[in-house]
Amino acid sequence: MKTPPIASSPENASVLRSDFFWGFATAAAQVEGAWDADGKGDSIWDKFSRIPGRVIDGSTNADATCAYDLYKDDVQLLKKLGVNSYRFSLAWSRIIPLGGKDDPINEAGLQYYSNLVDELIANNITPFVTLFHWDTPQALEDRYGGMLDQARYTPDFERYARVCFAALGDRVKHWITYNEPGVYTLAGYAAGVHAPGRSSLPERDDPGDSSTEPFIVAHTELVSHARAVKIYRKEFKPTQKGVIGITLHGNYSAPWDENDPKDVEAADRAQQFEIACFADPIYGSGDYPPCMRDQLGDRLPHFTPEEKALVKGSSDFYGMNSYTTFYVRHRDEPADINDHKGNITFHDTNKAGVSRGAESDTPWLRSNPAGFLALLHWIWDRYRTPIYITENGTTAKGEHDWDPTSGFWLDDTFRQDFFEGYVGAVADAVRSGVDIRSYFAWTFTDNWEWAAGYTDRFGGSWVDFESKEKTRYPKKSAFELGRIFEHLIKKN
Ligand code: GBH
């Protein structure tokens, strides 16, 4: 792995295209609050967060950062930070409270998003809109088990997508169908630690089947994504002229022992299970990777010829979320029935004792720009599709204790270094020919981090969660990021 020069290095001046998008990303369930305002229906995360024991600090997302009420202030803050774009998601159950294709539309919910889009555009900020960031309407979960029922779910998602394109597509030109379908399936249906909280651990979770359900749900996501894209391309794109794609999550996996061919293979297999599972059907072979079929057999669904044709090519760009790198070791034993990672183990250090990166405030996340650079090349070499980086960022130790009344601002050097490293990797990849068109830092402000509640502060601004106003205080890194992109983006 090669460590790239930091973003601010002189050789990176003006290497990014003049229409490069940079900004911050958020997700509805993590920021909006107002969980039942103006007719919104329950989502699976509203319900899940109320179950004792599911969220580390016992919090729910009922208020989150109150972004539903504070969107005008938020847009002003974005403007102050100098972004040219902002990525956010729509809460399906705000727009169609019961979710289904024959259920009523909540005009107030649509109006909120329309206002947000107008406010952004009036401030020269380009909206990137995600249709689905994990918050399935609870009513669909109750009605037929949500994505476990591909036949019933798909028309509901199609209708939801159509409503959004029709209402917002005159102004929104960048659409993302799903955020991290792989995380939704594995955390929600294999590990059971995210909503809807199903798994093969019935003493803790709703009784599911970690050996089959994740793959059924993944298949539903791929096919329903492709159906929504087909609708956009046929009914809306000719007049609205936007682009549409999907966002996939992936860490970089490096071999624990780079001289052991089995570890080298295992590291690549880990990326195939995590990334190629979704990316090969869309951008590559049109089918799941052979190593997944070998391990999972018929527990992995089969694409019908019609589905295959629909899914292949169903994304105008590669939406990329990535945070960290792991060392990966092969296992000699046969894979467990519930394994969904490719029969490997993850490690914090490699055989030589080298750490996978500097520690953030979050156990799974360590800073590793070299791994990020290697992953950019892996994705580009395999799929040759323009990349929109839609999430990347970090927590930093000590931020919970910061005192907003101290009179000093939060000088988050760990996060500043993280951005110098990771954005440096973006610049380096672009210099060697990788087509990268955006970078969205995760995330705009500290927020409600799913099962981690308020214990992970990923924000470019610090939020006083105790205050009624959820006051935002920009961290130094947010301004530094603006300076970095000023250096990197070509002027017209
Ligand atoms: C992103 O997922 C999400 O898109 C975003 O909403 C989220 O807020 C952000 O990351 C930061 O967390 O606790 O050891 O079980 C990134 C993929 C998948 C990484 C779940 C953390 C939990 C690991 N995430 N994973 S663990």
pLDDT, tens digit (0-9, with 9 covering 90-100), for 16-33: 999 999 999 999 999 999
251 CA from centroid of ligand 1 (Å): 11
Rounded distance between C-alpha atoms, residue 310 and residue 19, angstroms? 30
- Helix/strand/coil for 16: strand
Spell out the residues 6+ positions from residue 294 whose beta carbon is closer than 8 angstroms to its own.
none
Residue 132 forms beta bridges with which residues?
A: 178
- 407 pLDDT band, cuts 50/70/90, is confident
pLDDT above 90: residue 202:
no
pLDDT at 358 over 90: yes
Beta strands in 200-353 (DSSP E): 206-207, 243-249, 252-255, 318-321, 325-330, 344-347
Residue 34 has pLDDT above 90, yes or no: yes
Biggest CA-to-CA distance, the chain: 63
* Distances, alpha carbon 323 to alpha carbons 46, 180, 362, 441, in Å: 26, 13, 11, 10
pTM comes to 0.98
- The Cα 415–Cα 420 span in angstroms is 9
Give the model confidence (pLDDT) of 52-110 as tens digits: 999 999 999 999 999 999 999 999 999 999 999 999 999 999 999 999 999 999 999 99
153-174 confidence digits (pLDDT tens)? 999 999 999 999 999 999 999 9
Q: How many whole angstroms separate alpha carbon 136 and alpha carbon 171? A: 25
Q: What is the pLDDT of residue 424?
A: 99
- Angle of CA points 471, 476, 482, to nearest 5°: 105
The closest residue, in CA terms, to atom 19 on ligand 1 is 364
Cα–Cα distance measured from residue 188 to residue 198, given in angstroms and rounded to the nearest whole number? 6
Catalytic residue (choose from 274, 391, 420, 480): 391
- What is the position in ligand 1's atom list of the atom closest to the CA of 180? 4
- Evaluate the CA torsion angle 359, 362, 365, 369 in order and state its sign: negative
d(CA 72, CA 152): 37
Contacts of 96 (CB under 8 A, 6+ apart): 41, 103, 104, 105, 106, 137, 159, 160, 163
How confident is the model at residue 93, as a pLDDT?
99
What lies within 8 Å, CB to CB, of 407 at 6+ separation is: none
Residue type, 479: F
Candidates 347, 363, 489; CA nearest to 426 is 489
447 Cα nearest atom in ligand 1: 8
Eight-state DSSP code of residue 123? T
| Domains in the chain with CATH codes | 10-488 (3.20.20.80)
Active site residue 180: yes
Strands (E) in 336-386, as ranges, are 344-347, 358-359, 366-367
For 224-235, how does the pLDDT look when each residue is reduced to its tens digit (9 = 90+)?
A: 999 999 999 999
Model pLDDT, residue 197:
97
Ligand 1 atom closest to the Cα of residue 194 is: 20
278 close to 285: Cβ distance less than 8 angstroms: no
Give the position, in ligand 1's atom list, of the atom nearest the Cα of 458. Answer: 11
What is the chain's mean pLDDT, rounded?
Answer: 98
pLDDT at 205: 84
Contact assessment for residue 209 and residue 143, using Cβ atoms and an 8 Å cutoff = no
Q: Which residue reads 């290697």 in tokens?
A: 374
How remote is the CA of residue 12 from the centroid of ligand 1, in Å?
A: 30
User: Ligand 1 pocket check: which of 61, 445, 450 to mutate, most ligand atoms within 8 Å of Cβ?
Assistant: 450
Query: Distance between CA 405 and CA 262 in Å, rounded?
Result: 54
Mean pLDDT value of segment 381-406:
97
Residues with CB under 6 A from ligand 1: 27, 179-180, 183, 187, 193, 249, 321, 323, 364, 391, 442, 449, 458
- pLDDT of 466 reads 95
Q: How confident is the model at residue 483 (pLDDT cuts 50, 70, 90)?
A: very high
Annotated catalytic residue, options 32, 119, 141, 180: 180
Q: In a mutational test of the pocket of ligand 1, which residue from 442, 446, 448, 456 has the highest number of ligand atoms less than 8 Å from its CB? A: 442
The predicted-structure confidence for 108-149, as pLDDT tens digits, reads as follows: 999 999 999 999 999 999 999 999 999 999 999 999 999 999
Q: Is the pLDDT of residue 206 over 90?
A: no
- H helix runs in 123-149, sequence order: 138-144
Amino acid at 392: N
Q: Among residues 57, 184, 136, which one has the least CA distance to residue 449?
A: 57
Strands 126-132 and 85-89: parallel
Q: Are 264 and 276 in contact (CB under 8 A)?
A: no
Is the preceding omega at residue 196 within 30 degrees of 0, hence cis? yes
| Cα–Cα dist 372/186, whole Å | 22
Q: How far apart are CA 1 and CA 21, in angstroms?
A: 27
Which residue has tokens 């055989």?
351
pLDDT digits 0-9 by tens, 280-317: 999 999 999 999 999 999 999 999 999 999 999 999 99
Q: Cβ distance 464 to 473 under 8 Å?
A: yes
Reply yes or no on whether 486 is catalytic: no
Measure the CA–CA gap between 194 and 136, rounded to whole angstroms: 12
Distance of CA 460 to the CA centre of its chain: 17
Sign of the four-CA dihedral 153, 157, 158, 160: positive
pLDDT by residue (tens digit) across 241-274?
999 999 999 999 999 999 999 999 999 999 999 9
* Residue 245: closest CA among 314, 312, 183: 314
pLDDT score, position 475: 98
Helix (H, G, I), strand (E, B) or coil at 40: coil
User: Encoding tokens for residue 13?
Assistant: 């001046």
In the chain, % of residues over pLDDT 70: 100
Report yes or no: 178 and 136 within 8 Å, Cβ to Cβ. Answer: no
Q: Which amino acid is at 230?
A: K
CA of 306 to the centre of ligand 1 (A): 33
Share of the chain above pLDDT 90, in %: 97
